Structure 1
Amino acid sequence: MLELKHISKRFGQSKQFAVQDVSFSIPEHEVFALVGESGSGKSTLAEFIVGLQQPTEGSIFWRGAPIQLQAHLQRHEQSRQVQIVFQNPDRSLNPYWKIKDIIAEPLILNKWTKLASQRKVEELLERVRLPHELLERLPTECSGGQKQRIAIARALALEPELLIADEITSALDPITERDILSLLSELKRDHNMSFLFITHRLETIRGFADAIAVMKNGMLLEMGATEDVLQHPANAYTKSLIEACYDDYA
């Protein structure tokens, strides 16, 4: 469904790379996890996919079509099929808008009627397990977990086929994190969605991701089925990430 081929990004005119020669693909209905420390290039790749940045080299394909080269209307259609939820909802949610208006924004921009938008917003709120009384609140009146669910609801408004979750549980407590992962698992199961899940913590994706790619310093070091990588890591850096998980829970 989504394929990245030999993606690189240089810093300006220098020979230094933010991302260097990264290739992977995400099949339909699967969860693909990008794992690595901060600054490894994970979020940069996500920004390439949704068009917030352009790579210096390489190509990105959506269902066989190179998305960087598509015409504006084609690019708009692709952007409806791929949505992203960012790490910090305090920066991605307008603090002056009510929750109902935040979730409805992509619907209004796509010329939905007010009544149809209202019904869709109510449906989305149920889908992410939030009470309807939140609709009249501002983001500042919601908890961190609630704000992340609101961001997920907004991303689901146009029924994307692929959802990019960029470190969306990193600032949450363990119980809330587990609830968000359970929600994403339900979305995958009930709506046949695919996910690109970005995290620096390997323990978050066991039992959720179908495949893992491990990144460091802009390069992809190791990739494979989740349990294969976790049980038999081939790279020393991957082994260190796994050991850090055990240290965290010691």
Structure 2
Amino acid sequence: MTDGETTRKQAIRDLSEDTLGFGAAEVRTARDLLVRPRLVLQAWMIEGPTGGGRYAKPLKLYLTLNAIIMLIVFLKGGLSGYLEGMPAEMLNPLLAQAGKSRDAFMADADGWMSFLTIPVMAPLYALAAMPLFRLWDAEDLGVRRGFRASFAYLNAWTVPMLPLSWFVFGTGPAALIASLLMAVLGFAAFLRMGRGRWYRGVLPGVGKALILFAAIGLSGALGTAIVTVIGVFAGLAA
């Protein structure tokens, strides 16, 4: 490899890290979460938040992945679809009260919803999952490592989900199929990552995956409601 090729590859890596937050550690972590998630979890739990220097920190990686998803959401038209899905008898009075056009109302709402979605959703997901991982893990994780385990799982779910994001935030049959596949990936991530640590047998693993999925689903519904209310107030603001 020539010096020029090395310089170009380093420049590409630097650009990726500067724009998307993805450097060598993030790429390595995402790769290993796909092929050996259980070993990544073990490294994070035993050797610290960087897995002994091999991996990105779970929270940092999760925020980076969500930033990419929000970029996809922006390219797909934003989050105002949450409000557009409201019944006309609810939405029309809000538009009248706002005293602005529908497009202006949606633009104001979408700006705040897009800005606050990750700060609202990420802690809620982790708070929903953390007590379960502390309960199921044979070790006394404590709060700090409990949150680390939560973001480890969320990363293992989000990495393979990224290609589906373009379709999940769309409409029609493609969005429905992508949403179902996303749920399947959530179950698979738990079963692949947690074997021997969060569960032993297949049936207990499936049962715990269902409990975890329900807890995260409820926290997601709460987060969506919070973000939607914020969007409404933003749309009503002068």
The TM-score with structure 2 as length reference comes to: 0.29
The TM-score with structure 1 as length reference comes to: 0.28
Say which structure is richer in helix.
2
Say which structure is richer in strand.
1
Which structure has the larger Rg over C-alpha atoms?
A: 2
